[in-house]
Amino acid sequence: TTAEWQAADARHFLHPFTDFKDLAKKGSRIIKKAENIYLWDSEGHKILDAMSGLWCVNMGYGQQPLIDAAAQQMKELPFYNAFFQTSTTPAIELAEVLAEVAPPHFQHVFFTSSGSEGNDTVVRMVRRYWDVLGQPNRQVIIGRINGYHGSTMAGASLGGMSGMHAQGGLPIPDITHIDQPHWYELGGSQSRDEFGITAARWLEDKILAVGPDRVAAFIGEPVQGAGGVIVPPATYWPEIQRICDKYGILLVSDEVICGFGRTGNWFGCETMGSKPDLMTFAKGVTSGYIPLGGVMVGERIAKVLIEQGGEFNHGFTYSGHPTACAVALANIRLMREQDVVRKVREELGPHLAQRFAELAKHPLVGEVQTCGMMGAVQLVKDKATRKAFDSALEVGMVCRTHCFNNGLIMRAVGDRMIVAPPLVMTVAQIDEMADLIQKVLDLTLAELNQ
Ligand code: PLP
């Protein structure tokens, strides 16, 4: 029974990002099966998954080509490593295909099993690059407050989540942060475009404060995901690029969420107008069917590491795991066959934007933001003054509970409700999701007015 599953769950399973005691008290929702964009829990409730699992099931659930690819590869060669001059054909083929879909200056990839491992790899690769070039002082990597780059020591340090830094002595040395390009909270009376320049210049201020000859790289998500789908002003990333170029600093785009079509291009940096030196990816590369991540390495770094770097003493047992690579190949093939990236850019993204613009009229909603197939709805006490609710009210959690009770999975980041639904949604399914959001906003408002 559900109660038995919940009891065993609480007894043995320490869940990520979870208050263990709280979980034992409330019990988890047990998800049993899924198809297309819908989940079913152990009580038989049907739920629209507006978060694509955890920003990853981009092609939706039940995709037979991905299932077949895993089964066939497992039969033929479930595992072999890529250490000591061995390789496997799925890993080689995937590296080739990634070089095709990435911006043309990316012709090399280093495989990992997750986004966190990808960002750890970035830290080592960036520092190695400057070492090889005889500039070992360039150690400092600049990230952003409220950015998320994973849960390993380096990933969590690059990220700027205060709750994570408070546990375990983070950040590790030589990682520092600037504030996020969150216009609604920090923009004051500036236009979005003016604020984009202001926020980018915080990077220049930081570089000058640290000392330009000590700064190795800047890392950011094209659109901050876990931070609350913070879509930066259009002026932000081009100005960041200009500043990185001016000081010769490496630019790293964390594409773990934004990669693989989410923003309407293969990679988010293409949507935002930057040309990074490194891109980390994970999640959508396999639509989350199997763990796989990696780092796309641009020509500037690849050339130095290959020609002058010698052995790079870094790697994982599962770097280039053949079964994971076979699933990624099937996933990318399917994305291409179904023209998913163009559809997000030209059809689905614009429809989501239109439906979210309607939600902006709701009395609870201060602003909405969308980018491709991701969106945010900021709940506020007063639309005119942008005054937030008293945090003790936990309005985001109130809204999330109504989502849960009404067959919708949305995420609450404080009082910001966010979605990143599967990229295979139809226009009618976007309408179904937007209607449900309208309904949960009404229910939340009614509860607050009680
Ligand atoms: N980077 C970003 C932008 C993410 O959103 C995440 C996970 O949500 C990560 C990195 C970490 O990826 P993983 O959980 O696969 O380690």
Tell me the residue type at 423.
L
Q: How far is the CA of 155 from the centre of ligand 1 (A)?
A: 9
Tell me the residue type at 56.
C
Q: Which of 229, 283, 296, 316 to mutate to test the pocket of ligand 1 (most atoms within 8 A of CB)?
A: 283
Residues contacting residue 197 through CB under 8 Å, at least 6 positions apart: 235, 236, 239
Neighbours of 190 (CB within 10 A): 15
| 301 within 8 A of 278, measured Cβ to Cβ | yes
Q: How far is the CA of 256 from the centre of ligand 1 (A)?
A: 6
What digits encode the pLDDT tens for the residues 9-31?
Answer: 999 999 999 999 998 899 999 99
DSSP three-state, residue 32: strand
Whether 56 lines ligand 1, by a CB cut-off of 6 Å, is no
| 141 within 8 A of 218, measured Cβ to Cβ | yes
| 46 within 8 A of 430, measured Cβ to Cβ | no
Q: Which of 55, 113, 146, 149 to mutate to test the pocket of ligand 1 (most atoms within 8 A of CB)?
A: 149
Whether 142 lines ligand 1, by a CB cut-off of 6 Å, is no
| 386 within 8 A of 380, measured Cβ to Cβ | yes
Whether 226 lines ligand 1, by a CB cut-off of 6 Å, is yes
pLDDT of residue 54: 98
Q: How far apart are CA 340 and CA 444, in angstroms?
A: 34
pLDDT of residue 136: 97
Q: How far is the CA of 362 from the centre of ligand 1 (A)?
A: 32
Phi, psi angle pair for 36, to nearest 5°: 60, -115
Bridging pattern class, strands 374-379 and 365-371:
antiparallel
Domains of the chain: 2-62+339-449 (3.90.1150.10), 65-337 (3.40.640.10)
Q: How far is the CA of 382 from the centre of ligand 1 (A)?
A: 33
Residues contacting residue 97 through CB under 8 Å, at least 6 positions apart: 329, 332
Which neighbouring-strand residues pair with 241?
Answer: none
Phi, psi angle pair for 80, to nearest 5°: -155, 155
Q: How far apart are CA 349 and CA 345, in angstroms?
A: 6
Whether 160 lines ligand 1, by a CB cut-off of 6 Å, is no
Q: How far is the CA of 147 from the centre of ligand 1 (A)?
A: 10
- The pair of three-digit structure tokens given for residue 70, joined into one six-digit string: 């895993």
Q: How far is the CA of 446 from the centre of ligand 1 (A)?
A: 35
Whether 120 lines ligand 1, by a CB cut-off of 6 Å, is no
Dihedral sign (CA 41, 44, 45, 47): positive
Give the closest residue (by CA) to ligand 1 atom 1.
149
Whether 255 lines ligand 1, by a CB cut-off of 6 Å, is no
Q: How far apart are CA 91 and CA 317, in angstroms?
A: 13
Whether 257 lines ligand 1, by a CB cut-off of 6 Å, is yes
Atom of ligand 1 nearest to the CA of 283: 15
Flag residues of the chain having pLDDT under 50.
none
Whether 52 lines ligand 1, by a CB cut-off of 6 Å, is no
CA–chain centroid gap for 71, Å, is: 28
Tell me the residue type at 374.
M
Q: Among 10, 159, 74, 41, which residue's Cα sits nearest to residue 404? A: 41
Bridging pattern class, strands 293-298 and 278-281:
antiparallel
Instruction: Measure Cα distances from 160 to 182, 207, 245 in Å.
Output: 14, 17, 24
Instruction: Measure Cα distances from 19 to 26, 365, 369 in Å.
Output: 11, 29, 30
CA–chain centroid gap for 196, Å, is: 21
Tell me the residue type at 302.
A
Neighbours of 337 (CB within 10 A): 9
Give the closest residue (by CA) to ligand 1 atom 10.
149
Bridging pattern class, strands 215-220 and 250-254:
parallel
- The pair of three-digit structure tokens given for residue 92, joined into one six-digit string: 């080689």
Whether 154 lines ligand 1, by a CB cut-off of 6 Å, is no
pLDDT of residue 450: 87
Angular region, 134: left φ>0, alpha ψ -120 to 50, beta rest: left
- The pair of three-digit structure tokens given for residue 309, joined into one six-digit string: 């770097």
Give the closest residue (by CA) to ligand 1 atom 7.
150
Q: How far is the CA of 115 from the centre of ligand 1 (A)?
A: 5
DSSP state string for 90-107: HHHHHHHHHHHHS-TTEE
Whether 254 lines ligand 1, by a CB cut-off of 6 Å, is yes
Q: How far is the CA of 379 from the centre of ligand 1 (A)?
A: 25
Residue 171: asked if its preceding bond is cis (omega within 30°), the reply is yes
Q: Among 238, 234, 154, which residue's Cα sits nearest to residue 194? A: 234
Q: Among 138, 157, 146, 142, which residue's Cα sits nearest to residue 203? A: 142
pLDDT of residue 59: 98
Give the closest residue (by CA) to ligand 1 atom 12.
115
Whether 196 lines ligand 1, by a CB cut-off of 6 Å, is no
Which neighbouring-strand residues pair with 46?
Answer: 40
Whether 150 lines ligand 1, by a CB cut-off of 6 Å, is yes
DSSP state string for 132-194: HTT-TT--EEEEETT----SSHHHHHHS--HHHHTTTTPSPTTEEEE----HHHH-TTS-HHH
DSSP state string for 268-298: HHHHHT---SEEEE-GGGTTTSS--EEEEEE
Whether 115 lines ligand 1, by a CB cut-off of 6 Å, is yes
Atom of ligand 1 nearest to the CA of 116: 16
Q: How far apart are CA 39 and CA 48, in angstroms?
A: 6
Q: How far is the CA of 257 from the centre of ligand 1 (A)?
A: 7
* DSSP type of residue 363: T
Q: Which of 116, 223, 281 to mutate to test the pocket of ligand 1 (most atoms within 8 A of CB)?
A: 116
Neighbours of 169 (CB within 10 A): 9
